[in-house]
Amino acid sequence: MTVVAPADRRLMEGSEAMAEAAIAAGCRFFAGYPMTPFTELLEHLAKKLPEADGVCINAESELEAVGMAWGALATGARAATGSTGQGLSLMQESFSEITLAELPLVVFNMARGQQDYFQATRGGGHGDYRHLVLAPLDIAEAVELTQLAFHLADKWRNPVLVYGDYLLAHTHEAVSVERIEFPPLPSKAWAVDGSGGGTGESRLVTPLGLAKHGHEAPGIERHLRGITAKHADMEREEQRAETAFCDDAETVVVAFGTPAKFVRYVVSQLRAEGEKVGFVRPISLWPYPFEAVAQATDGATTVAVFELCAGQMIDDVRLAVLGRAPIVAIGGISTDGSGFGVGPLLDAEIIRDRVLAAHRGGADAELPPLPVNDRG
């Protein structure tokens, strides 16, 4: 990845940085429905996309938003939609079928915490489908991963989900959104623009495994198997993770997304104090970097999982560790009074105590009680 166009550095919230990154990546269509904490991403794109000769539609429902993106994608444009987890729940049928239609949709989940991990990685829709999922640590990484998302979506002709959250959306930082140059991709010969009509070579964008009369249709079974084969390739090639201090770690902490920045900080502090703790951060949530996590936890006697939910990514950690070490959940549900935002658990001191408890107690660790949101 080469940085092509250095831009001015200015103070902006994560939502704005991601909007700019999407436009830098060539996104020219967005549709969305306001919902906290996604709303600002829609607002920024509503303002900026027309300035970039793009279209942003305030859709009348989430379901229509993803439909509009579908139509834009079918014409060969780079298009995206987004919401928070609840809104993405509404879009699931379309997500499944857009995957089967092999359209390069980019989806933004500005989530309320980390409890949408299953929705993102297992998929809430029907059928054998997979989305690439990228979880940025902070705004700078979000700017990179947003652009990467559009590239990977086109590379694989498959949807890519960017897992953000309230903290990412609303934190302000000094950011320069620099356009990244990616390797070239084949042109979209499959895209529908009307010009095929009456030629005998008109195009069909469909999830159903059909083809135009006179062309061999794969049929639904062969079509589905082909997509599954593609997903196997994606699984091999698109795993991404960050590891630190794992070589001699006794306890390895696993975390993703914005909370992982807190965990990484805590681990590096504890290391400085002589504690043998390590850190692994999946950057791709699907494909989950099983090998990287397995390797990082290979010598550990305890694996701790920090996530802001009842425990979802922990399932994948269990699969990576395969019983070699006990796994201790040190995260939990923590949110603010509204339920949208950041809870008291996202606190370096509190996380440090919980990491230490796991490090010292192992499988029998007694964790401090979870902090309580003072607004209940």
Partner 1 sequence: MPREHVGAEGPVGPVLDTSTAPDHAKKVADLKPDLLLTQEHNLCPGCGEPLALRVYLEALQELGVTQRSIMVAGIGCYTAFTSTVDVDLVQALHGRAPSVATGAKRMQPDSVVFTLQGDGDMVNEGLQEVLHTAARGENVTCILLNNGVFGETGGHMTATSVLGQRTKNTLDGRDAEYHGYPILIGDLIARLQGAAYVARGSVHNAGAVARTKKMFRRAFESQLRGDGFSFVEVLTMCPTGWFIPTGDGPDYMHETLGEVHVMGELKVGGVVKTTEELHDENVARQREVEGALERGGLDR
Nearer to partner 1, 213 or 236 (CB): 213
CB atoms under 10 Å from CB of 67, counted, come to 17
- Considering the rule CB under 8 A, would residue 188 count as an interface residue with partner 1? no
Q: How far is CA 360 from the centre of its chain?
A: 33
Query: Which residue is listed with tokens 């640590």?
Result: 137
From 193, 233, 247, 291, residue interacting with partner 1 (rule: CB under 8 A): 193
- Considering the rule CB under 8 A, would residue 72 count as an interface residue with partner 1? yes
Interactions with partner 1, residue window 320-339 (CB under 8 A) = none
Preceding amide of 37 cis, omega within 30: yes
- Cα angle for residues 302, 141, 266 (degrees, 5° grid): 35
Contact flags string 194-213 toward partner 1, x per CB under 8 A: xxxxxxx-xxxxxxx-xxxx
3-state SS, residue 237: helix
Q: Which amino acid is at 98?
A: I
CA dist., res. 278 & res. 295, Å (int): 12
CA dist., res. 24 & res. 19, Å (int): 9
Query: DSSP secondary-structure letter at 157?
Result: T
Tell the smallest beta-carbon distance from residue 220 to partner 1 (Å): 13
Residue 328, strand partner residues: 304
Q: Applying CB under 8 A, which part among 16-24, 65-73, 115-123, 260-268 lies near partner 1?
A: 65-73
Task: Classify the phi-psi angles of 222: left when phi > 0, otherwise alpha if psi is within -120 to 50, otherwise beta.
Answer: alpha
Q: Applying CB under 8 A, which part among 110-118, 186-194, 263-271, 274-282 lies near partner 1?
A: 186-194
Nearer to partner 1, 65 or 365 (CB): 65
Q: Which amino acid is at 163?
A: Y
Q: Applying CB under 8 A, which part among 10-18, 62-70, 233-241, 327-335 lies near partner 1?
A: 62-70
Nearest to 65 by CA among 31, 29, 22, 19: 31
Nearest to 205 by CA among 72, 57, 61, 66: 72
Tell the smallest beta-carbon distance from residue 110 to partner 1 (Å): 21
Nearer to partner 1, 101 or 327 (CB): 101
Interactions with partner 1, residue window 249-308 (CB under 8 A) = none
Are the beta carbons of 4 and 181 closer than 8 angstroms? yes
From 15, 83, 84, 94, residue interacting with partner 1 (rule: CB under 8 A): 94
Are the beta carbons of 286 and 99 closer than 8 angstroms? no
Tell the smallest beta-carbon distance from residue 210 to partner 1 (Å): 5
- Considering the rule CB under 8 A, would residue 28 count as an interface residue with partner 1? yes
Nearer to partner 1, 56 or 329 (CB): 56
Tell the smallest beta-carbon distance from residue 155 to partner 1 (Å): 21
Nearer to partner 1, 33 or 279 (CB): 33
Contact flags string 211-230 toward partner 1, x per CB under 8 A: xxxx--x-------------
- Considering the rule CB under 8 A, would residue 74 count as an interface residue with partner 1? yes
Per DSSP bridges, beta strands 179-181 and 241-244 are unpaired
How close are the terminal C-alpha atoms of the chain, in Å?
A: 45
- Considering the rule CB under 8 A, would residue 101 count as an interface residue with partner 1? yes
CA dist., res. 296 & res. 185, Å (int): 34
From 71, 124, 344, 371, residue interacting with partner 1 (rule: CB under 8 A): 71
From 7, 52, 55, 370, residue interacting with partner 1 (rule: CB under 8 A): 55
- Considering the rule CB under 8 A, would residue 70 count as an interface residue with partner 1? yes
CA dist., res. 168 & res. 113, Å (int): 11
* Chain contacts with partner 1 (rule: CB under 8 A): 28-29, 31, 55, 57, 59-61, 63-77, 79, 93-94, 97, 101, 192-200, 202-208, 210-214, 217
